[in-house]
Amino acid sequence: MRALGSCFQSLRTTLLIKNNDKLFAVAPMMEWTDRHCRFFHRQLTRRALLYTEMVTAGAVIHGDRERLLGFSPEEHPVALQLGGSDPRQLAEAARIGADFGYDEINLNCGCPSPRVQTGAFGACLMTEPERVADCVAAMRAAQSAPVTVKCRIGVDDQDGEETLDRFADAVSRAGCAVFIVHARKAWLNGLSPKENREVPPLDYARVQRLKASRPGLAVILNGGLKTLDEAARESAALDGAMVGRAAYQNPEMLLGVDARFYGDARKAPSLDAACEAMVRYCEGVLRQGGKLSAVTRHMLGLFQGAPGARAYRRLLSEEAPRPGAGIDTLTRAFSLVSRTGDRLAPKAA
């Protein structure tokens, strides 16, 4: 029975990648890619794979699961990223995540924050490929969703060439077929998490060599990608790209993902329709006792470079967090710009 489940999982993993021209994903980002953010991003792209924030295995097992794991059906395809280093805990958390309906379970082996170092997981796991292999094997055995790994090319003074190869070989032997590689080392001593996203040099060529030497693996490029053009160019020899802060800070870029990465011939989602959907979504959040700013904080990057964008951002930044802020705050913000085709632009005087 377990062998049958393993075969089914491998098939799902293969289809997840091979059915697409290229996979495009929005990176998991702590305190950013919550369920409200993911719902918003889904209005801009039908096809991109969306990720949760990293959730520790212990929190999944012992915490408020609906708060930590709950998501809207509209978010699919959506992946759960787990943090941890104990195979038993990760297996249980993966099973719980799969029961919630996540399309993929991802293990974080790349986060360099002091919090994950204290817990001996995240980027620390780059030094323990066999432990990661045990974790992956346990996660796969516990449920049927594909298990993937997000990692760095190495940590601290490790040799990036040897380290990444050894890591990928050990973990792929445990059944992981998809690696999302942040093309930087993580420096666990001396650099903050922010500096770890900026200071270690990017090495896209190293990620490309991993794919060239192991063509049976699906390798997704992450790190420093700022535009769809750059993501497509640097991942041309790979299986896809993952973009983080650029997509969050300029969400409008997601409107081009479906056609560019998936060859989707349907009319692209429109900014106009996305804004209308978010009004309805915010109405639902408010009815359930939520705060308007919990949603609108993810929408501040809209309309970059367009006249009226500054007034839109200022209104939402100042008024949405106020107690009792209602849907009129969002509609007033949108009213600062008017429609020109599928693009919102300033109202005529």
Catalytic-residue membership of 124: no
Are 22 and 41 within 8 A, CB to CB? no
CB count in 10 Å sphere of residue 71:
19
One-letter identity of residue 100? F
Q: Are 316 and 326 contacting, i.e. CB atoms less than 8 angstroms apart?
A: no
Q: Are 301 and 251 in contact (CB under 8 A)?
A: yes
Query: What's the one-letter identity of residue 127?
Result: T
321 vs 297: CA distance, rounded Å: 9
For residues 250, 254, 234, 209, the Cα torsion angle rounded to the nearest 10 degrees is 110
Beta strands in 206-330 (DSSP E): 218-222, 240-243
- Is the backbone peptide bond immediately before 77 cis, with ω within 30 degrees of 0? yes
Residue 237's φ and ψ, nearest 5 degrees, are -95, 5
Q: What is the C-alpha to C-alpha distance for residues 174 and 276, in angstroms, rounded to an integer?
A: 45
Q: What distance in Å separates the CA atoms of residue 343 and residue 331, rounded to the nearest whole number?
A: 16
Query: Is residue 266 left, alpha or beta, with left meaning phi > 0 and alpha meaning psi from -120 to 50?
Result: beta
Catalytic hit among 111, 124, 176, 275: 111
Both structure tokens of 125: 């796991």
Look at residues 173, 130, 170, 122 and name the one whose alpha carbon lies nearest to residue 150. 122
∠ CA 18-20-23, rounded to 5°:
100
DSSP for 32-80, written as a single string? TSSHHHHHHHHTT-SS-EEEEEEEEHHHHHHS-HHHHH---GGG-SEEE
Whether 40 and 251 have beta carbons less than 8 Å apart is answered as yes
Residues with active-site annotation: 111
